[in-house]
Amino acid sequence: MEIGRQNESTKVETPVSSADTDRFRSEILSDAEPLAIHKDFAQESAAVQRQIADFQKEHAVQVVPSGKYYDYVLSAGGKDQVVLTTDGKPDSLDAAAKKLEQLVIEKQSALTKIFSVTFSAKGENVEKQWIQKPDCTWERGPMIKARSPQLVELAGIEAALYRAQPSQNNSDGTQTKFYFLEDNYHKNERILAFYVHSDKNGHGAVYYEPGANLGVPATEKDIERSDQTKFSNNESIEALTLHELSHSHQDRMGWDSGKMAGIAKEFGWSSFYDKTENETKYLLRGKKGEFYRYGSDHCKDKEAWVCCDKDGKPLDASGKVAGSFKTAKQFTYDQVRDLAEVRPLTWYFPNPKEMFAEGMMFYRSNEERRAQLLRESPTLYAAVKKQDNIESAEAFGKLADGSPKYIRNSEGRWSESTSASRKELADFENKVKAEKQKTSFVPPLRRRQFAYAG
């Protein structure tokens, strides 16, 4: 989700639009679990087991007894890697922690060198917390501190950066900074991540909330070897980061400089001017020419999908103006997905930016996700592909015919645009289109329905 832009009419700084408030429900992280303690520690005392568990939660590596030694295992990139070894004694954990901190510093330096991105430091000031008052206005609270990232988080971010580039570059020419927050951005509201247009330095950044990456696979390859009943096929640190960097793409492409309405129209959204709030808002078009809107009557109300007229006024079951969201005919996420002119790929589509970001996440992820996007929402696929190619042309240059010098292959990586690479991509797309429609795996309510606000 993206946050931090000023209201265009009032110029009053607000942290988030009302269309996203359902992402801030506390239950979304209630069942996240850290790494399990290795079975060989079962004979150790309860105190030692707690010590091991606390270490694993803090560093996201598993401690594995190996004879007289402890191996420290990082699961990332589809494999388990022993990143260091110490004596097999609980008091060796302090030395291991220091070594892991050094490995984190080295990995950050490598990613900064390749992508020019930076990361928050332990104890760094981020910005003051947002607190919503009863009248729905916002005020600032205490300063939020950051922590340094874990190795597993850097592995997921690295995987995303290779696929998201050049979107890690901000529209102002600077590079994205990744912050790992120690407290919630909104008081008493737990989510996963945000893309902010302007951090304390005035540049685009990604904020990961407390617990956002707890027990979550680093990359898509790690999901393939994880418990499929716990994680959906688009829930990883890599996928979360791809989504957030899609908002950086939108910033780079001028969505908030007059281009959003035209782009959104291509994948099923129409704009209207909300006179009560003095701002442009968006309606999702239905297959029969009807419109759907996501919102509520009050900031403390649960938001819902309703049918509405072209001016955004909620309608009741008879098609008459209802006067409020509460009295309008409401629809579930699944119902709206089925009724929409252009099918949203996931349950997170409160507005055009988020629907597009979910699509771009799939488009840039890997061949399986790319195929799912093309099968289930070909119009959204086409819109994402078009914008991705425009960004490529602006960043890497054009061929003589005006097409981009580089195109994104089916695995989400850049390839030089040649007759062979274009044919390979066309063959992939034609094969997917010819396949019999496969049943979509709808992400479970555990995290994905209200997973990350950004």
Q: Do 395 and 280 share a structural domain?
A: no
Residue 432 vs residues 266, 368, 429: alpha-carbon distances, Å: 21, 10, 5
- DSSP label at residue 296: -
Q: Do 165 and 21 share a structural domain?
A: yes
452 domain-assigned: no
Q: What are the φ and ψ backbone dihedral angles of 422, each rounded to 5 degrees?
A: -65, -40
What is the C-alpha separation between 287 and 71, in angstroms, rounded? 57
Predicted confidence at residue 12, as pLDDT, reads 44
Q: Do 215 and 177 share a structural domain?
A: yes
Q: Do 318 and 333 share a structural domain?
A: yes
Q: Is the pTM of this model over 0.85?
A: yes
Contact between 225 and 45 (Cβ < 8 Å): no
Predicted confidence at residue 13, as pLDDT, reads 54
Contact between 48 and 41 (Cβ < 8 Å): yes
Predicted confidence at residue 14, as pLDDT, reads 58
Domain end point (choices 115, 141, 164): 115
Is residue 15 very low, low, confident or very high in pLDDT (cuts 50, 70, 90)?
A: low
What is the C-alpha separation between 122 and 126, in angstroms, rounded? 11
The stretch 87-100 carries a mean pLDDT of 94
Q: Do 48 and 133 share a structural domain?
A: no
384 domain-assigned: yes
Residue 438 vs residues 65, 95, 149, 151, 375: alpha-carbon distances, Å: 44, 51, 38, 36, 8
As a whole number, the mean pLDDT across the chain is: 88
Q: Count the Cβ atoms, other than its own, within 10 Å of residue 90.
A: 18
- Vertex 200, ends 194 and 205: CA angle to 5°? 35
415 - beta bridge partners?
407
Q: Do 298 and 192 share a structural domain?
A: no
pLDDT > 90? residue 11: no
Domain end point (choices 215, 249, 283): 249
The stretch 310-338 carries a mean pLDDT of 95
447 domain-assigned: no
Residue 212 vs residues 36, 103, 215, 400: alpha-carbon distances, Å: 18, 22, 9, 45
- DSSP label at residue 98: H
446 domain-assigned: no
Q: Which domain holds residue 334?
A: 269-339
Predicted confidence at residue 24, as pLDDT, reads 30
Half-sphere exposure of 337 (CA within 13 A, CB side): 14
The stretch 161-165 carries a mean pLDDT of 96
Of all residues in the chain, the percent with pLDDT exceeding 90 is 75
Which has the higher per-residue pLDDT, 224 or 87?
87
pLDDT > 90? residue 421: yes
Is residue 2 very low, low, confident or very high in pLDDT (cuts 50, 70, 90)?
A: low
Predicted confidence at residue 175, as pLDDT, reads 87
Domain count, the chain: 4
Which has the higher per-residue pLDDT, 160 or 1?
160
Q: Do 223 and 127 share a structural domain?
A: yes
213 domain-assigned: yes
Residue 149 vs residues 60, 181, 190, 224, 234: alpha-carbon distances, Å: 10, 10, 19, 24, 21
Which has the higher per-residue pLDDT, 442 or 321?
321
Q: Do 177 and 73 share a structural domain?
A: no
What is the C-alpha separation between 304 and 283, in angstroms, rounded? 13
275 domain-assigned: yes
299 domain-assigned: yes
- DSSP label at residue 5: P
Is residue 227 very low, low, confident or very high in pLDDT (cuts 50, 70, 90)?
A: low
pLDDT in tens, 269-318: 999 999 888 899 999 999 999 999 999 999 889 999 999 999 999 999 99
Q: Do 288 and 182 share a structural domain?
A: no
414 domain-assigned: yes
Domain end point (choices 88, 115, 142): 115
- DSSP label at residue 281: E
Q: Can you state the angle between helices 237-252 and 378-396, rounded to 10 degrees?
A: 70
End-to-end, the C-alpha distance of the chain in Å comes to 1
How would you label 153-187 residue by residue, b for 16+ Cβ within 10 Å and e otherwise? bbbbbbbbbebbbbbbbbbeeebbbbbbbbebbbe
The stretch 231-235 carries a mean pLDDT of 54
Q: Do 203 and 163 share a structural domain?
A: yes
Q: Do 237 and 128 share a structural domain?
A: yes
Is residue 32 very low, low, confident or very high in pLDDT (cuts 50, 70, 90)?
A: low
Q: Can you state the angle between helices 237-252 and 352-365, rounded to 10 degrees?
A: 120
pLDDT > 80? residue 163: yes
Q: Do 173 and 27 share a structural domain?
A: yes
What is the C-alpha separation between 42 and 65, in angstroms, rounded? 11
